[in-house]
Amino acid sequence: MFTFDGRVVLITGAGSEKGIGRATALEFAKAGADLAIADLDFAGAQNTCALIEELGRKALPIHLDVTDPEACEKAVQEVVDTFGKLDVLVNNAGISQKVTIADMTIQDVERIFKVNFYGMFNITKPAAAAMKERGYGRIVNLSSVSAKRGGGIFGGAHYSAAKAGDLGFAKNFSREYAMHGITNNSVCPGLINTDIWKTLPKEQADKIIENIPVGRPGEIKEVAAAILFLASEEASYITGEEIDINGGMHMD
């Protein structure tokens, strides 16, 4: 069991009722952390915060569009003003789109990159500055198996490219910030048992499962566990790396 007593965690995109972000937030709270929950869906962020407070921890809901750099700077400052510091950032906000390259438009590409890559950059930059002042920080990015195997589940090529960009950014970030006590790692989930998975026709679902050696979709709690590990003291000597959580669908 990892301990986050006294730690302050900011998670983006954690307002969804059954998403990875909310599940991760609750695990951090159980481990002793106070949290800031930033989401475009402010009501969702408030609901996540209410659940955190039920666990006896402090929680701050923030209405945030990660595509807005100025709003991201203000969000980080609000966290520091409220809690006095920022220890952990989880870049969970993201969107996907199932579309072929032939049908893809430049507007599609821009929309996916603005959230999945630019959004990650927009919040990471001020968060890193706040962490650098104290000489400590953990940043965990939510990438995807699609970034490593070139799609094949839900997203299109633009999604794979944006998520691959997150991995490259984390490696370069690690070279620049490791000396300041800040790590940046990523998790790359494969097929996870979310609402999207449950809406797939049985024939399509069975075909996807055939390509997963463990024979099932992953659970949200399994992704959350990996995130907590990378954000923990025990992972202090790991940076610029990614953990694949895909049941063997892709192996490096």
> pLDDT tens-digit profile of 179-231?
999 999 999 998 888 776 667 677 777 888 888 999 998 999 999 999 999 99
- Would you say residue 142 lies in a domain? yes
- Would you say residue 249 lies in a domain? no
Residue 231 near residue 243 (C-beta atoms within 8 A): no
| Residues in Cβ contact with 220 at an 8 Å cutoff, skipping those fewer than 6 apart | 18, 19, 20, 23, 192, 193, 194
The percent helix, strand, coil of the chain (3-state, each to 5) is 50, 15, 35
- Would you say residue 250 lies in a domain? no
Among 118, 136, 159, 177, which one carries the catalytic annotation? 159
pLDDT score recorded for residue 86: 98
Q: Which residues of the chain have pLDDT under 70?
A: 152-153, 196-198, 200
Q: Report which of 130, 165, 133 is spatially closest to residue 146, judged by C-alpha positions.
A: 165
The pTM assigned to this predicted structure is 0.95
Q: Considering Cα of 29, then 34, then 70, then 178, what sign does the dihedral take? A: negative
Say which CATH number the domain at 37 has.
Answer: 3.40.50.720
pLDDT score recorded for residue 152: 66
The question of whether 159 is a catalytic residue gets the answer: yes
- Would you say residue 169 lies in a domain? yes
- Would you say residue 252 lies in a domain? no
How many domains are there within the chain? Answer: 1
Give all strands (DSSP E) within 133-219, no chain letters: 137-142, 182-189
- Would you say residue 1 lies in a domain? no
- Would you say residue 221 lies in a domain? yes
Range of the domain at 209: 8-243
- Would you say residue 137 lies in a domain? yes
